[in-house]
Amino acid sequence: MIKRKTISPVELTKHYLARIDRINPKINAYVTVDHEGALVQAKVAEQAVMRGDALGALHGIPISIKDLALTKGLCSTDGSLIFKDRIPDHDDIFVARLRKAGVVILGKNNTPEFGYFARSMNRVIGETRNPWDTRRITGASSGGAGAASAAGISPFAIASDGGGSTRIPAHFNGVFGLQPSPGRLPLLEPILAGPQQASFGPMTLDVMDAAIIMNAMAGPDPRDPSAIQTPTPDFTAGLNDGIKGFKIAWSDDFGHIPILDLRVLKTQKSSAYLLERAGATVEDPAIKLYDFFEPWAISNAALGSVAKIRGFSEEQKALISPPVAQTMLRDRPIPTADDIAKAERVRADIRTRFEALFDRYDVICTPISTTIAPIAPAGWEQPYADPTYGAQFGTPYTHVVNFLGLTAASVPCGFVDGLPVGLQVIARRMNETKVFRVAQALALLQPWDSKHPALAI
């Protein structure tokens, strides 16, 4: 429509800013809304259209970005009072690439402090609420991005994931959320979970949108030696080719994860087997893993999260929110060399098991979690009573993807008690195109993009 001049970037941006003004006070999805800056960007985009300039794939389209990313000239807080007034003088690499593709940045989405809490809640602006039921959490740490996308106060958002932080909010908010292979998007500074376990990625209502966004963001950069160096695929190519002949593995629980709500599991499992209607074969190979939360957490901490936070001054540490201070300053010691070696042995064992699975199957489908979005507890309490759920960092279903550097997505697959549920689709590292194809097949079999929270209408 922008290319045809049937709508202008300014009109589109004003539309979303008006929706933000109306809806955001109810859900608190934004830390910063850049009203003035967004309109300036939109006017520049409109002038390019009127001049007949070559337009990028996302020209004039608004977007929001998780507040863990650096955005030049726009406050970037990390969800922390320590950085509440930080205005970066440069963009993260993927942000700069989005700007080159023509986006209009509406603002920054809420996150727990440094991404380390199971609720998108901090001392900067408080908690993001779920647009489907504002009594409930949105998940973490990309809860602001998930809520903004679901509520239509951003057409799509950029999230990040170091243990499930994109996929869990996508599950709780009813949107598509991709965890690209770590290194697919180069970074100037690693996410706290580390460059081989974490990545930024898109949250959208439409699979094709996410593929187009990935095309704009992905690819190596000499400033990030950890970035994937092999040629970057066109993520939109073959998206609608279907999945006839695909072999898909299903697992209820990886052999050890407690099932919290059988209704949620049934919804997810039936959606996985629904893919047989698109020509895939779905099998249950009885995947048996063991609880590796501690090795995963050690690996996570070893990649800098604990050391970074402990490097703050005492005055800065006093500003850190209670659950983050508890986790990162007291509960989690800096790993020793022996700790790291043990974690790496566990990683190698689990990687061998998954490589054997991917020799037989194109993707593995699992729950993201087997619960709907919990009601937000009082104060700074965790939302999950059962410690086996991996409350502090995500769920055991999602951890394995980050631990092994795989790629995965949460794909909307139904509702339980009126709240959305997501199916996890996992593929081998650097196989995002398979994740996209399976997600698109499910979207065609079971469309979700016309379903919206009541407050968004």
Catalytic residues: 66, 141, 165
CA distance 358 to 404: 13
Angle between helices 207-217 and 432-445 (to 10 degrees): 160
Long-range contacts of 381-385 (CB under 8 A, 24+ apart): 382/118, 382/119, 382/323, 383/118, 383/119, 383/137, 384/118
Angle between helices 293-300 and 396-404 (to 10 degrees): 50
CA distance 67 to 286: 39
Cis check for the bond before 141: say yes or no (omega within 30 of 0): yes
Q: Which residues of 210-227 are buried (b: 16+ CB within 10 A; e: fewer)?
A: bbbbbbbbbbbeeebeeb
Q: How far apart are the first and last CA of the chain?
A: 22
**DSSP code string of 345-405:** HHHHHHHHHHHHHHTT-SEEEEES-SSPPPBPPSTT--S-S-GGG-TTT--HHHHHHHHHT
